Amino acid sequence: MPMLPRWALRLFPALLTVATSANADLTGHWHVEIPGADPFTEIVQTGTSVTFTLTFSGSSLVFDGTVSGDALSATSNDGPCPVGVNLRILPGETIMDGIDGVYGGPCTYPTKSRAFMSRCECHDGNQTNGDGCDAECRIEPCFVCSGEPSICTPAGDGAACDDRRDCTTGETCSAGVCGGGSAVVPCVDLTGRWFWTDDSTFGVFQSTSDIVQRNGILVFRQAGGSTLRYVGTIDASTGAMDLEIPSNALFCTDPVKLTASAPPDGRTYSGTGSATVESPHFICLDDSFTETGSRCGGGTIDRGGACDDGNVTSGDGCSSTCQVEACFDCSGEPSTCTPQPPATPCNDGDPCTLNDACNGSGTCVGTPVACAPCTICDGAGGCLEAPRLDCLASLEPSKSKLQITDKIPDTKDALRWQWRAGMSPTSAQLGNPLASSSVATCLYDESTPTPTLLFRALVPPGGTCGTKPCWKSVGQGGTTTRAAPTASSTSRFARARTARRRWT
Nearest by Cα to 286 from 3, 6, 4, 99: 6
Nearest by Cα to 256 from 207, 220, 296, 302: 220
Boundary-marking domain end, from 273, 294, 315? 294
**For residue 327, how many other CB atoms are within 10 A of its CB?**
26
> CATH number, domain at 202?
2.40.128
State pLDDT tens for residues 313-367: 999 999 999 999 999 999 999 999 999 999 999 998 888 999 999 999 999 999 9
Report how many domains make up the chain: 3
pLDDT at 11: 31
166 belongs to a structural domain: no
> CATH number, domain at 58?
2.40.128.30
474 belongs to a structural domain: yes
As a whole number of angstroms, the distance between CA 243 and CA 440 comes to 65
As a whole number of angstroms, the distance between CA 97 and CA 115 comes to 6
373 belongs to a structural domain: no
334 belongs to a structural domain: no
Q: Is the peptide bond before 469 cis (omega within 30 degrees of 0)?
A: no
366 belongs to a structural domain: no
pLDDT at 7: 31
Phi and psi, residue 368, nearest 5° = -60, 140
Phi and psi, residue 13, nearest 5° = -60, -35
Count Cα atoms within 13 angstroms, Cβ side, for 338: 4
433 belongs to a structural domain: yes
Residue 286, CA distances (Å) to 112, 281, 319, 373, 430 in order = 20, 15, 36, 63, 58
Cβ 451 vs Cβ 388: under 8 Å: no
Alpha helices in 78-211 (DSSP H): none
Boundary-marking domain end, from 274, 294, 314? 294
Cβ 218 vs Cβ 190: under 8 Å: yes
| Residue ranges for the chain with pLDDT beneath 70 | 1-21, 104-105, 108, 474-504
Q: How far is CA 146 from the centre of its chain?
A: 44
458 belongs to a structural domain: yes
Question: Whole domain around residue 230: which residue ranges?
Answer: 192-294
In DSSP terms, 54 is beta-bridged to 61
352 belongs to a structural domain: no
Boundary-marking domain end, from 244, 268, 294? 294
- What 3-state DSSP class applies to 258? strand
